[in-house]
Amino acid sequence: MSGEATALLAALFLVFAALYSTVGHAGASGYLAAMALVGSPPDVMRPTALTLNILVAMIATVKFYRAGCFSWRLFWPFAIASVPFALIGGVMTLPIPIYKRLVGFVLLYSAARLAWKPVPVEIPFRPPAVPLAVGVGAVIGLLSGLTGVGGGVFLTPLLLFMEWGDPKTAFGVAAPFILLNSIAGLAGLLTQHAPLPAAIPVWAVAVIVGGWLGATYGSRRPGQPVVQRVLAVVLLVAGAKLIAGV
């Protein structure tokens, strides 16, 4: 990869990390879209995105936890099944163009709803039954491993629209959920000897800076409509990427 492409990706990764981390996300779908834009080899895209995801998710997890946004009761039923299924998805290399497009349209619909009418903080929220959360977590985990994302783009809108958590809690739960799924997905990929590019250290610095800035802002203003609209942009990018098949 040329120096110009490396620098361009570093700039894009910093922006995506800052944008996504304001809502407890880590930016994998944005990283994948950026790499597709510059023509990165497909075999390095998923491991690269997941590696950068882990760094940003670690920062977001600490920031949102310290801000009092985390709920163990809401988190564990989703995570307990998502992690092993993310590992399975990371090992798999099934062609899933139709499935990715269907999920992409769901994300676009979620983005439109959230941009048009942010979820009010004062609505009473109630976590789902444990068996339901475990099943949903398994599906999200498998999809996360297959697509190379951490799963936050699926979990967060579901928590909000099903009224299982308020925005503050949803963002705080998304960060560690993404962190664990990204670690599991990357572990699965590495068993298949997936390569990592030489520019990873440069990109790591970029996403750490962006993630720190975004998570600092988002953890202090998790219930603000403007932050929820940032989530809508995140979902829009992720949905468009999946529909485009990149």
- DSSP one-letter code for 92: -
pTM of the model: 0.85
- DSSP one-letter code for 162: T
pLDDT the model gives residue 62: 96
pLDDT the model gives residue 102: 60
CA angle 166, 167, 173 (to 5 degrees): 90
Q: Tens of pLDDT along the chain (246 residues)?
A: 678 889 999 999 998 899 889 889 998 888 887 887 787 887 788 889 899 999 999 999 999 999 999 999 999 999 999 999 988 887 876 566 765 676 677 678 767 766 766 666 566 788 899 999 999 999 999 888 777 778 888 898 889 888 898 888 999 999 999 999 999 888 888 887 778 889 999 999 999 999 999 999 988 876 666 766 777 777 787 778 767 765
Q: How far apart are CA 145 and CA 93, in angstroms?
A: 10
Tell me which residue range forms the domain holding 133: 3-244
For the chain, give percent helix, strand, coil, nearest 5: 75, 0, 25
Q: How far apart are CA 19 and CA 13, in angstroms?
A: 10
Q: Which residues 6+ apart lie within 8 Å of 58 measured at CB?
A: 179
Number of domains into which the chain is organized: 1
